[in-house]
A and B are shown apart, each in its own frame.
Chain A
Amino acid sequence: MTGAQAALDRVTRVPGVRGALVASAGDGLVVAEQLMDGVDGRAAAALAGSLVGRLVRTADGAGRRPPAFVQLRAERGSILAAPCPNDLVLIAVVGPDANVGLARLEMLDAAGRLD
């Protein structure tokens, strides 16, 4: 099992996580994915990757360091993102009842190990 698959495995075991993927931050393309039905990995990689890039630039504009974890919360769930080394980003799509705290911990831990 590759590092990316191991990371996805841990994240998708968290209750409420509907899918997780590793994307190339600069390109917004999928590197690895583990998704349930109804989750468009390609769209998640492109859209979340683009948003995270914009948030990194916003943090930079505010004189702050890049974010280590991002949660975009919406009516019917959230998108979680943890930038990783080598221009990768770990992304999870979760439902409204997901254990976001646990998902965050797993993602931060996994993001640090991905290379």
Chain B
Amino acid sequence: MTEDIRALTTRLAEEPGSLAFLELAEALRRRGQLDAAGKVARGGLSKYPGLAGAHDLMARILSDQGDLAGAFDAWADALRIDPMRTGALKGIAFLYFRAGDAAAAIEHLQRAAEADPDDESIAQALAKVRRESRSFSQRSVEPEPEPRPEPQPQPRPEAESRAEPIAPADPGSPFADMDGGRSLVLVDANGLRLAGSLPAPSGEETGDRVAAQLAGVSREAARATRLLGLGTWQSITLESSDGHFVLVRPTGETVLLAAREQSLPMARVVLLAERAARAARQWLEQVR
């Protein structure tokens, strides 16, 4: 972690206009260095006042410092810019709950659940608020939702005829609780698959083949954005008639691909990819 902070500090010093302040401030916040985190976040906000993520980060820092009013304002700013930002919705819901306003807390958590239905923590938070609040408004409270069934591995009758078997869910992978990591692939800088799998519509496993290509995609993307003056690349989204792909970078040396059917809106696939990237980062820190 100290090395990360050092590297991020150097990067920010070399490129004061870059978005490295987000990672650096978050790393400092996690280490409890809240004053330093706040300074970095404020500096970044002065350059990127329209960046919802920066306001969200500032709110978390202020919340950790005990400045709940400041945190509320910062999350409200984040939501003005990005009304679907689940971090801000959860944060404000938490503040309303602490203030005893269960109805407002539930309303914000419901919006967060709509924005990211795969986020189990939102469902858990909703259940907790409903359970612990003293009164419910008839307007805003819905009946207790049916508990979500545990995702079951689907039988694949075509498995025996395929050339390659689909990779089974790997309990040691970062995506073990995300449908076993199917349609999520984590790739290292050499084009080798670290985790996840990517079955084609035909059922054939394509994870290794796609992983080999993604290292080249990452290099090309980095070159294109650098030479066109756009800075560091952050994500690639592809829409096709039979599915959506999102590529993100959990770390500087890895790429993550999330694939979903076309019926899911692209913005939701992006949220899924970002969630998978967070899980991948935590997993990589543990395995290293």
Contacts and interface: CB of A to CB of B under 8 A. Distances in A.
Determine direct contact between A and B, CB below 8 Å: yes
Interface of A: 38-40, 43-44, 47-48, 50-51, 54-55, 57-59, 61-79, 93, 96-97
A97 B81 CA distance: 11
B19 A79 contact: no
B225 A79 contact: yes
Interface residues of B, number: 39
5 contacts: A55-B236, A59-B238, A61-B213, A63-B200, A66-B240
Contact of B206 (A61, A68, A71): A61
Contacts of A57: 213
A58 B210 contact: yes
B215 to A, nearest CB: 11
A50 B221 CA distance: 10
Q: Which 6 A-B pairs have the closest CB atoms?
A: A63-B200, A75-B231, A74-B230, A47-B224, A74-B225, A67-B238
B178 to A, nearest CB: 18
A43 B227 contact: yes
Nearest to B183: A62
A61 B230 CA distance: 28
A55 B214 CA distance: 9
A28 B202 CA distance: 32
B47 to A, nearest CB: 11
Given A38-B229, A70-B239, 14 more contacts: A51-B224, A63-B202, A64-B259, A67-B240, A70-B237, A71-B237, A72-B236, A73-B235, A74-B232, A75-B225, A75-B230, A77-B230, A78-B230, A96-B50
Which label, helix, strand, loop or mixed, suits the secondary structure of the B interface? mixed
Given A73-B235, A74-B225, A76-B229, A59 B50 contact: no
Contacts of A39: 228
Interface string B250-287: 00000000010000000000000000000000000000
Nearest to B15: A75
B201 interface: yes
B98 interface: no
A59 to B, nearest CB: 6
Contacts of A63: 200-202, 204, 206
Contacts of A54: 213, 216-217, 220
Contacts of B72: none
Contacts of A40: 227-228
B100 interface: no
Given A51-B224, A61-B206, A61-B209, A69 B238 contact: yes
A75 B241 CA distance: 28
